[in-house]
Amino acid sequence: MDQLDNTSDLNKPISTATKTELDKKQDAVVSNFLDLPAPVANVITLVYDPLKPYGYVELNGNNLTIQLDDLEEGEPGVGIKVKKVVGTEAVTFKNGTTTIAPPATPTPSTGANSWDLWFVEKFKSLFFIDLKPFGTPTPPPAPVTKLPNVTGFGLQQTGPHQVTISYNNYATSSGISGCTLQIIRPTSATGTAPTVDSSTNLANPKVDNGPVVGNANATLDTGKTYIYRMRATKSGYTSSDWVTQSITII
């Protein structure tokens, strides 16, 4: 019993040898990113490492020259991602005092926060440069809010051929002002026309004597059941669901 260890697995230490091996694995994960030095007078001198083929630099209004003197013959090249905060920054590659011409096409990206991927390699004493312009990242679409449904939607016959439509004040119940409220009188519970009225200042209550958009002479007939539907719409929002009620004229 004197050898019993009640330390939880979470709190048990690991051996020095195990930690050393785990640290090596972590280094292997992060080591393929080349540590580019900070620009000096807008110049970066590339210190080439074939085990670190990727680099990243961000430009904020200044052009950049990348010196490739250290790039080794016959080794895998290096890819450098360049982000341009302003969007007009230019990148030039040099070997000593000789400027290495980039390809005529494609052309570098432009626009704020645009970025390019440059790939450079050396073969038979010649430098080869390739460019992949990625442009400006597309921002995610703005979330679209769906309008709440109209509440308190009710119908009441208030005359021989007249229906009065009432509902709760939409700006108050939804907390969203400036919405267009639409009332329709379709021939089915899923119809979307014809419109009785549609306005940002819809009367409440709204009296319907029969006329609809497209038929100013329509009437409400005794003994017939009529379906009414109502919803809210507003630019920049998804329309609310239709709410539906029916009434039979007596």
Whether the per-residue pLDDT at 30 is higher than 60: the answer is: no
Digit-coded pLDDT (tens) for 162-174: 999 999 999 999 9
Q: Average pLDDT in the 10-29 region?
A: 60
Whether the per-residue pLDDT at 9 is higher than 60: the answer is: no
**What distance in Å separates the CA atoms of residue 117 and residue 130, rounded to the nearest whole number?**
8
> In 3D, which of 42, 34, 76 has the Cα closest to residue 61?
42
Task: Tell me how far CA of residue 141 lies from CA of 134, 138, 144, 185, 216, in angstroms.
Answer: 19, 9, 9, 35, 42
Q: pLDDT over 70 for what percent of the chain?
A: 87
**Cβ-based neighbour number of residue 126 at 10 Å:** 10
pTM score, whole prediction: 0.49
> DSSP class of residue 212?
B
Least confident of 63-72, 195-204, 207-216: 63-72
Amino acid code (one letter) for 188: S
Digit-coded pLDDT (tens) for 85-140: 999 999 999 988 999 988 889 999 999 999 999 999 888 888 889 999 998 877 77
**What distance in Å separates the CA atoms of residue 13 and residue 22, rounded to the nearest whole number?**
14
**Cβ-based neighbour number of residue 167 at 10 Å:** 20
Q: Average pLDDT in the 135-152 region?
A: 88
**What distance in Å separates the CA atoms of residue 206 and residue 196, rounded to the nearest whole number?**
10
